[in-house]
Amino acid sequence: MIAYILRRLGMILLTMLLASVIIFSVTQLLPGDVAHVILGQFATPQAVENLREELGLNRPIIVQYWDWLTSFIRGDWGISMVSRLEVRPMIMERLRNSLMLASVSLLFYVPLGILLGVIAALNEDRLADQAISGISMAFAGLPEFVTGLILIGILAISLDILPANSSIEPQTSFKEAFPFLILPAITVSLTSLGYIARMTRSSTIDVLRADYTRAADMKGLPRWQVLTKHVLRNSLLPTVTVVAMGIGWLIGGLIVTEAVFGYPGVGRLLIYGIQRRDLILIQAISMLIVAVYSFSNLAADILYGILNPRIRLGG
């Protein structure tokens, strides 16, 4: 296990290095000049040149990349080109908000998706199975902004039971922020719910047809015991991967949801950086997303071994 984790950590470092090259290269290819964007269209050429000198944009690309990467590794994520504030505290504050939203979403759609998937598997090809599969995948096919607007129209405007805007103040506690998290969390959950349910249904059906499950039934074991000790322990393995991949998406892919509800998370901060060509901010957020995605997949593989010790992680 330790050797496997060390190998995976090495692969994560390599992934981060390759990602840093891609992220830096892509940000350099964005259209427009950063200095012009910051100073505005009426800026004089001399003012633009002075700002480029101040920001280090006139240095060779390889020098800019090396300085940025080494500083990032040391924990110095740079100064925002637009707000002139330290990038790391900005991102950490927004990351806290995104983690709160991601936690509520996970607690909602993971247990519910597993439950619906098991119910569908136990009622294969029956009305319950068709209803769960059809409705969950219908929501999965809807874009987040459509689902969000529908929920706002029903729950916030018509019924007036939840706030339509999720803009919260910095350092708001989880308890105080919770009412503002419900609508965006439901929006995110409805998109992911179908994938969890479908994956759980498929794997559960396969396990229900396995010889050891039939043997357990023939021994006269209670149905709940067969499900908990034999079926779910094995059928949830593929679901773990889907959930782990979803964690990376929750942290970095909430851009649309956060924009719809005005929620101050990492996704909305990334939009802010892109709109203003804040390269330092864009690069730091992108690297953070890659790191979260990589480590969430590592956690999924480790959990594989815990759920099923027969799996050799080193193989």
Residue 100 shares a structural domain with residue 19: no
Residue 60 shares a structural domain with residue 166: no
Residue 34 shares a structural domain with residue 167: no
Residues 6+ apart with CB under 8 A from 162: 155, 156, 179, 182, 183
CATH number for position 236: 1.10.3720.10
**Furthest CA-CA distance within the chain:** 85
Q: Between 254 and 77, whose confidence is greater?
A: 77
Burial of residue 227 (CB within 10 Å: 0-12, 13-18, 19+) is buried
Instruction: Tell whether 85 is covered by a domain.
Output: no
Residue 94 shares a structural domain with residue 223: yes
Q: Between 42 and 17, whose confidence is greater?
A: 17
Residue 99 shares a structural domain with residue 158: yes
Instruction: Tell whether 315 is covered by a domain.
Output: no
Residue 147 shares a structural domain with residue 187: yes
Instruction: Tell whether 84 is covered by a domain.
Output: no
Determine the Cα–Cα distance for residues 229 and 69; give it in Å rounded to an integer. Answer: 48
Residues 6+ apart with CB under 8 A from 180: 163, 165, 166, 167, 168, 261, 263
Q: Are 197 and 132 in contact (CB under 8 A)?
A: yes
Residue 18 is predicted with a pLDDT of 93
Residue 14 is predicted with a pLDDT of 92
With both helix axes pointing from N to C terminus, report the angle between 232-252 and 174-208 in degrees, rounded to the nearest 10. 140
Instruction: Tell whether 79 is covered by a domain.
Output: no
Domain count, the chain: 2
Residue 249 is predicted with a pLDDT of 66
State residue 86 phi and psi, 5-degree precision: -65, 135
Determine the Cα–Cα distance for residues 48 and 161; give it in Å rounded to an integer. Answer: 51
pLDDT above 60 for 132? yes
Instruction: Tell whether 105 is covered by a domain.
Output: yes
Residue 144 shares a structural domain with residue 219: yes
pLDDT digits (tens, 9 = 90+) for 86-116: 999 999 988 888 888 888 988 888 889 888 9
Residue 103 shares a structural domain with residue 191: yes
Q: What percent of the chain has pLDDT over 70?
A: 90
Residue 291 shares a structural domain with residue 234: yes
Q: Are 146 and 167 in contact (CB under 8 A)?
A: no
Determine the Cα–Cα distance for residues 143 and 257; give it in Å rounded to an integer. Answer: 10
pLDDT above 80 for 205? yes
Banded pLDDT at 253 (limits 50, 70, 90): low
* Final residue in a domain of this structure, among 28, 43, 73: 73
Instruction: Tell whether 228 is covered by a domain.
Output: yes
Instruction: Tell whether 194 is covered by a domain.
Output: yes
Which residues on neighbouring strands pair with residue 164, listed in sequence order?
none
* Final residue in a domain of this structure, among 73, 99, 131: 73
Instruction: Tell whether 312 is covered by a domain.
Output: no
Determine the Cα–Cα distance for residues 88 and 310; give it in Å rounded to an integer. Answer: 42
Q: Is 66 left (phi over 0), alpha (psi -120 to 50) or beta?
A: alpha
Q: What percent of the chain has pLDDT over 90?
A: 5
Q: Between 252 and 205, whose confidence is greater?
A: 205
CB atoms within 10 A of CB 215: 12
Residue 155 shares a structural domain with residue 252: yes
**Domain of 10, in residue numbers:** 2-73
Which residues on neighbouring strands pair with residue 79, listed in sequence order?
86
The number of C-alpha atoms within 13 Å of 23 and in the hemisphere containing its C-beta is 23
Residue 22 is predicted with a pLDDT of 92
Q: Is 43 left (phi over 0), alpha (psi -120 to 50) or beta?
A: beta
Residue 117 shares a structural domain with residue 170: yes
* Final residue in a domain of this structure, among 45, 73, 101: 73
pLDDT above 80 for 222? no
Residue 103 shares a structural domain with residue 43: no
Q: Are 108 and 191 in contact (CB under 8 A)?
A: no
